[in-house]
Amino acid sequence: GIDAPEYDQPYSAPSKEALKKMTAGQEGTLYIKYRDRYDRYVAVLVIDELNINQEMVKDGYGWVYRRYCNEPVCGRWEQMQAEAKANRHGLWGGKDPISPWRWKVKR
């Protein structure tokens, strides 16, 4: 239900670094939802009861991808995203961040 900047997109490196910081050297549980059309797993990662997907949105390093966010938690994630945006956290501190799905279309 979330998406992060593409490798060639602005804010990609800080987003990747934030994810590494939260997960490096730790064990967690990966809740696989399904495989997408590119054969990638779509999943939720939880480490010590911390939902990493949610934290990425809350800290401003990912977007809620409403098209694919179909769980009850998605509304709360959208609220967290709005707060991150209002407080200019992570990628929201930059000038006019573009969601990954719009970025791919522009390529």
Reported as a single tens digit per residue, the pLDDT across 5-56 is 999 999 999 999 999 999 999 999 999 999 988 898 889 999 999 999 999 9
**Would you say residue 62 has pLDDT above 80?**
yes
**Would you say residue 107 has pLDDT above 80?**
no
How far is the C-alpha of 66 from the C-alpha of 48, rounded, in Å? 26
Mean pLDDT over the full length of the chain: 94
| 8 Å CB contact between 65 and 2 | yes
Distance between alpha carbon 67 and the CA centroid of its chain, in Å?
A: 14
Burial 25-38 (b: 16+ CB within 10 A, else e): eeebeeeeeeeeee
